[in-house]
Structure formats: structure tokens, C-alpha cells
Chains A and B, each alone.
Chain A
Amino acid sequence: MCIGFPGKVLSISEDGFALIDVNGVRREACLDLVDQEVAVGDYVLCHAGYAIHRLDEAVALEKLEFLRDLIRNEIY
């Protein structure tokens, strides 16, 4: 029950639910809890049928790049 997974928003309904694509599987996610604006095409973190966070691709990529740098320069 506690598995959170990322999904891509396909559409958003008027009553605050998004249809999301999770690796090819379509699921519904309630948008009551997510604290950023969510648009079609965004990735959201979904937990027990609720989107709890909008995933920011730039943040994730920057983090991976930084991690590669740390390893490459033997800081880690």
C-alpha cells in the first residue's frame, strides 16, 4: 500500500483527478494533496491513489550530474 511511483499526467478532470501513465498502465490519481500546479505532461509522484508531489525533471537531472561529478572527482 505504501509504494510510491512516478507517473506521467495524460489528462486532468474537472473534479480534481488526473489520469496518469505508469510504465504503460493507466491509473487515476487524486490531485487534492499536490502543492504545485500540475499540467498534462508533468510527472507526479503517486501514493495510494493520490499525487503527493510534482517531480521536477531539471532538479533530478542536476542531481544525477552532480552525483557523477562527485564520483568522477573521487569526492565520494
Chain B
Amino acid sequence: MKFIDEFRDPDLIRGLLKGIEKTAERIGRPVTVMEVCGTHTMAIGRFGLRRLLPAGIRLVSGPGCPVCVTAIEDVDRALHLAGRKGILFATFGDMLRVPGTGGVTLQKLRADGADVRVVLSPADVIALAEKNRSQEVVFMGIGFETTAPAAASLILRARERNLDNLTVFAVHKLIPPAMKALVEDPELKLDGFLCPGHVSTIIGAKAYEFLPEQAGASAVITGFEPVDILEGILMILRQIDTGERKVEIQYTRAVNPEGNPRALALMERVFEPGQAPWRGLGSMDGSGLRIRDAYGPLDAAKRFAFPEIHSEEVRGCACGTVLRGAMRPSRCPLFRVRCNPRNPLGPCMVSSEGTCAACFKYHREEEP
């Protein structure tokens, strides 16, 4: 078993689609389901799942692309750090082409001589800091509950080794507060959520209980292969059909109900929840992670003084509305013509998990 091909089995897919059709017919009204995670958005596009579903089942993409939801102020602060003398700025590859105010990107700064490095793992930053003792190494910690524990591990390992030239610029965010804002949005009228699989590996199922309890919405923690996604959709439809709304785990091979206590403890030890600005959703209490004072010397936001930066979004860019699921990318006036993967104006077109990038790549026929 390789944990991939088995979940792409055509017979299972046909069986699930039949079940979806039958259940959708019984429900007899349109159903709107949000896939929160950018990797779900990509998988749905890649496997062409949207066009296999009955007409009444609408899938909307949510804010689960960490690069995309990073507020322009935070992008500008990252760019400021990367452009400073003596700094080695390390981050994930997705961040490189995200435009800040005026279209500046890390990639452009690097072409101008800034030391910007791409890492595949926060753990790689330790070696960078050890090899480059004369530079201040700053790691941009970005991502949700799946990546935040890795940043916590980096901070603990850096402390253990007394690495005093390493800091983390943390803009980590938490998924449940964003889902709370979205389920309360009257414009969206969401019936249920495909909850992000790997975020749930860490946080477990309990974190979503407010969805059925307070908002009457279904929540199914779903994996990323076609069989997973279709079964997740079917589980939501069956909840609607029977009227019993709850949190269920489709992705049992990767998610325990209690999550991953070790990773949670690490995250808790290093970070505390705080207010954070999100692109598209605004500033939300308790939706971000701040490095605790005990690890203050490892916090780039404390080590470096930031000047006042006047941040401004690209005019006409609808990324914020797209991230809330309130607009399909093809309706954005910049889409395809001015904003495309070769020349991305907004983060949702840059990121490999962005909704606009997925729409460009996989839904070419989609009418505006």
C-alpha cells in the first residue's frame, strides 16, 4: 500500500458519484460546500471533480492558502526585513513572488542583491544560521496549524543550540476563527465544510464543533485524493439529508479525533494566540500566533525595529473577495488578461495553492 493509488480507484469513484447523485436528488435543493484548504482547491481542479458533480452541488473555495491570506502589511514588513543589510531571509518558495505594495517581491529584492533563500523545511534554517554566523538569519514563519508546530520546533532547537543570529518573523494563522467568520457570512450561505485534512491531523475534530452546534453547518475532515474528496462531499450530503449535523472524520488514516497532542504542546509552548490581520477577512481576535515573551530574543518582530510602512493593495485586485469564497476568480476584471501566472498581481494567482491559480490552470472553460 502506498496510500495514494488506492484512493484514486475508478470503481470507488463511480460508486461515490452514484451515491452523491442519489442523495442530492433526495435533498432536492442546491447545496453549497466550502473547501477551506488550498490543497483541496488544487486537487478538485486537478482531478476535474467539479464537473462530475450534479448541477445543484456548488463547491466554493475558502481562505486556506497561507500565502494568500497574509495581509499586505505583513508582506511589506517581510520585504522590509529581506531588504535590510546583513540579513539572510529564508522562507518557503511560495512567498517569493507575492507582491507587496508597488509590486515589490522577494524575488525582485533578491535580483537586486538581497540574500533571500528558499527552504523546504523550517528545520533547514538551523544549518543556514550555523553556516552564516556573520548574518542575521530571519525565517518567515507562515502557515496554519500544520506549519506552526514546525516553526515552534525550529525555535526550540535554535534555543537549545544558543543560535543568537536566528529569529523567526511569525505570521502564522489559525483556521477555526476564519471558518467562524465565514459560516456567519450571510452572503455565502454555506451548508457545510470540507475541513482541511492536515490542519486537522494537528488540531483534531473538536476544534470544529462550533460549526454544527452554533451554525447548523456540517463539518467533514477530508483527505486529498479523489476518493477522499467525493466521500467527504457525500458525507456532508448525507448529514443534510438526515438532518443530523455533526463533525465527522473521512480522513481516518491521517486524523485522530484528538489531533496530535505532541505537536499541539510544542505550538502552545512557543506561541500564544493573538490578533492577526487577514487579507479578505480583516483583523480577527485570536486568529494568529505570536511568539511568547519567553522566546522574545528569537522573535524578529522584537529584534528589529520597523519603520512606518504605508501599505496599499493592487488596484482592482479581488483576492480578498475570492478568499472569502464570495467571488469566482473568473469574475475578477484582472483575471487572465492582466493577472496570470506569468505576471501575477495578487497572491491567489502566485501561490501553488491559490484559488486564482487553480482556476487559471484547471478551469479554462469557466465563463466569467
A binds B: yes
Across the A-B interface, how many residue pairs have beta carbons closer than 8 Å?
Answer: 140
User: Is the beta-carbon distance between B253 and A49 smaller than 8 angstroms?
Assistant: no
User: Is the beta-carbon distance between A71 and B12 smaller than 8 angstroms?
Assistant: yes
Q: A35-B262, A49-B122 are in contact. Are A63 and B253 (CB under 8 A)?
A: yes
From residue B153, how far is it (CB to closest CB) to chain A in Å?
Answer: 4
Q: A1-B67, A47-B146, A55-B254 are in contact. Are A33 and B262 (CB under 8 A)?
A: yes
Chain B positions 113-160 with a Cβ under 8 Å from a chain A Cβ: 119-124, 142-144, 146-147, 149-150, 153, 156-157
- Report if B37 contacts A (CB, 8 A): yes
User: Is the beta-carbon distance between B231 and A2 smaller than 8 angstroms?
Assistant: no
Chain B proximity mask over A35-76: 1 for CB below 8 Å, otherwise 0: 100000001010111101101110111011001101110001
Q: A50-B123, A50-B150, A59-B253 are in contact. Are A71 and B15 (CB under 8 A)?
A: yes
- Chain A residues bordering chain B, tally (CB within 8 A): 36
- Report if B19 contacts A (CB, 8 A): yes
- Chain B residues bordering chain A, tally (CB within 8 A): 57
User: Is the beta-carbon distance between A52 and B6 smaller than 8 angstroms?
Assistant: no
Contacts of A47 in B (CB 8 A): 146-147, 150, 198, 201
| B residues whose Cβ falls under 8 Å from a Cβ of A | 1-4, 6-7, 9, 12, 15-16, 18-19, 37-39, 64-67, 92-94, 119-124, 142-144, 146-147, 149-150, 153, 156-157, 197-198, 201-202, 224, 227, 231, 234, 252-255, 260-263, 266, 352-353
Q: List 29 A-B contacts (CB under 8 A).
A: A1-B142, A1-B147, A2-B353, A4-B197, A4-B254, A6-B3, A23-B2, A28-B121, A32-B149, A32-B266, A33-B260, A33-B266, A47-B146, A47-B198, A49-B119, A49-B122, A50-B123, A50-B153, A52-B202, A52-B263, A53-B254, A56-B253, A57-B1, A60-B3, A61-B1, A63-B252, A76-B15, A76-B18, A76-B234
